[in-house]
Chains A and B, each alone.
Chain A
């Protein structure tokens, strides 16, 4: 109206005036035009900016899916050593639930030692394993029967799907399982649309009718009871914007919703919505998307949800904590039934379906109140090994499946032993809670690290002593010295006599050094095996000097020790700091008869969609010839029968042959035991972080934890193998001569066929 006035006035003026007036009008109207122009330009630029934002975010949308870390899968077969206690535990950590009848995937029954298990389907690296219906009997600690309980056919071998033992999260702890639209049951989509956005397939991002309706409803109710946001708007809100309720956010949301609809199909938007939407909380973990929600609330894959379950999840969209199925059961039930009713009105389901769905209880899984199983020390070792191959952002967002070597049961046993024994030893020695520990359990066959504890409180994710505490190793170094000797077949056998007289030599700083035996006594001339099994320092130093530091360092390196070892005499008594992990590597090579395999925690990595990404294959390298190591191992076996670890004779079952070595450092600052059965290698360390004297030797400290673990896990005895170059003899420990088998104190030792022990001697 205002603008129309000036032209009328213009008519009355002269031409000259009109020229000036035109000028002045020009100057008057210019700001308006400019402002408008600027505004439009700004708006356009802003829309272009939003458009760019929407497209780049949506196209390049990388769903932050944390990597999932699995335990090793448990193979079940007839003859598998397995106790009912262990199986119960394996089932518990893999999320199996006891049920009475009509077993579904993820459930099991137990009567006595007979089990029926429906193993969940699982995508292994070598293909999909469908659900398996297994019955098995456990007899005397072994699986004695394994069948498919539907067709009663014998099953040769089947894998229990592995438990998830951890996730590698991005900072915000969002978790989800990505799904494709095809995986989503029809009923879920229908339920979602009927309650959240009926005109989803018709509108262009905004539904004005719905907004008006919602406003009306809200005015009537006097509060916000209805939202008019379309799915697209909800997605935008979740996707790009913060959760502040401001007008500008609402406007942004609307513009972006329209832009999103311009560029992407309805199905693309719907799929993104289904994956993005927040659906609950599991402690610190945020449950996003229907794929994970289905697993979390129903322990089922999404595609197998029925109408009632689909309606339940949809009912929760509006407020996952307001409609929490455990805390607000009836509230959620009411809303679920409302969803079902709307579906019926809408014609998505018929009256009978609706009736049936309404009668079903919520059926969400029981919430486990038990402590979550977390394995901080193992996970840290695993992450370090992963970081050699992957960037940390890939680990926390690419949804990788990482198959680890953790044995949940062995880990549990290890933790229990650590907790109980460390507390007891700490009290006994008056250490006021300062006694610390580290334990690593390794599978000898494949060098899998199967359990790690790095603190006396195994659940505490602090300083990981198993990897990071480098402590003097004491006598644990001795096997490397004796092995260096045994490789020289012509010069050394286990019966070679050594001198255990006191010795004084010059140390690295020019100071004189006189190593003494632990007992303070000298033993004169003794056979080599006796010096090893009784851990005599004087004889060992003399032997080491004869062999030369270089040869010993070479042996250590052949056993897989990468650390540089200074060639000083004190090295002969283990004044070399190493972490329990390094000791595990060294003793693994001994347990594997001289074959070196780098210890590892990962076997395979798969992409989010189940494609194999990386395989860490079984690799071996022969470091030292098997015969020499077998001879050494026969002596390490004697350590546990007549040597420093002889208490194992009563601590372990008689038939469980094991080999090992104790280690104690000056003033009992460190207590070590490293030893193995035929299947497991365990390294235990005890000490305090500030290097105090603990009063514990290897035998009185670390050994007790070691034997506690070895006793509780099912393991094979070590083998004392006869090979074509070896022969075994019973030998007495004064002069290393042969004696008869009946001699109680005789050691049972391996010799090269060409160099057997001299003569027969008397049983002492």
Chain B
């Protein structure tokens, strides 16, 4: 049991690392509505490009998570989420971090959040790729919870989205 468990964790880590780059690319998902900003004076501005800060935070999160400092990585992600709260890649990354620390239920819920947010991305290839990632995280989460049938179903959804 322990062996199987750790195997799952290791494989989860491996695949998460490879997905990390994907997440970083995907974090530039365009917002679904023209982002006007409000202020007291009522003027409207085009959306500011905040991605530089988010990318810097993601890089730090990645550094921390490769050193297995998962809670530090989470800190950076929390800050990134403050800047781009509707960025599904950030939620997905958060989900992955919870897989690392064996919190499959949290991971599953966060993956669902990422899935819901990614569904608003009009670019279908990008959306499908991210949603496939979400389902894979869900599959791993189900596996950690020993819900093998659900894990298989989730894995199948991931494959379907990529085909």
Contacts and interface: CB of A to CB of B under 8 A. Distances in A.
Interface stretch (A181-189, A652-660, A686-694): A652-660
A711 B71 contact: no
A649 interface: no
B26 to A, nearest CB: 17
B38 A593 contact: no
Most buried by A among B38, B49, B119: B38
Contacts of A679: 85
Contact of A656 (B36, B56, B71, B78): B36
Given A77-B53, A612-B71, A719-B86, A141 B39 contact: yes
A125 interface: yes
A41 interface: no
A618 B94 contact: yes
Contact of A722 (B32, B45, B49, B112): B32
Contact of B56 (A156, A595, A711): A156
Given A83-B39, A725-B119, A126 B75 contact: yes
A654 B44 contact: yes
A554 interface: no
A653 B42 CA distance: 5
Interface in A632-658: 652-657
A724 interface: yes
B82 A717 contact: no
Given A79-B49, A655-B44, A722 B83 contact: no
B72 A126 contact: yes
B85 A620 contact: no
Nearest to B59: A156
A677 B38 contact: yes
A127 interface: yes
Interface in B34-91: 35-40, 42-45, 48-50, 52-53, 55-57, 64, 71-72, 74-76, 78-79, 81-83, 85-86
B116 interface: yes
B109 interface: yes
A653 B41 CA distance: 8
Q: What's the interface size class on A, roughly?
A: 35 or more
A593 B32 CA distance: 15
Nearest to A77: B53
B82 A620 contact: no
Nearest to B74: A617
B102 interface: no
A142 B110 contact: no
Given A141-B37, A444-B85, A653-B44, A719 B52 contact: no
B100 to A, nearest CB: 13
Contact of B52 (A77, A124, A140, A657): A77
A446 B78 contact: yes
A154 to B, nearest CB: 8
Nearest to B122: A722
Contact of A619 (B79, B86, B106): B106
A461 interface: no
A715 B44 CA distance: 11
Contacts of B86: 678, 719
A619 B94 contact: no
Contacts of B127: 724
A141 B49 CA distance: 14
A654 B37 CA distance: 10
A655 B36 contact: yes
Contacts of A80: 48, 50, 53, 83
Contacts of B110: 618, 620
Listed from nearest, the 9 A-B pairs whose CB atoms lie closest are A655-B36, A156-B56, A77-B53, A79-B48, A445-B85, A653-B42, A656-B38, A721-B120, A723-B119
9 contacts: A444-B85, A445-B82, A595-B109, A618-B78, A622-B116, A653-B38, A711-B40, A720-B32, A721-B33
Given A615-B71, A653-B39, A724-B119, 11 more contacts: A77-B52, A126-B76, A159-B79, A612-B71, A617-B74, A620-B109, A621-B109, A653-B42, A714-B38, A717-B35, A720-B33
Interface of A: 75, 77-81, 83, 124-127, 140-142, 156-157, 159, 444-446, 593-595, 603, 612, 615, 617-622, 626, 652-657, 677-679, 710-712, 714-717, 719-725
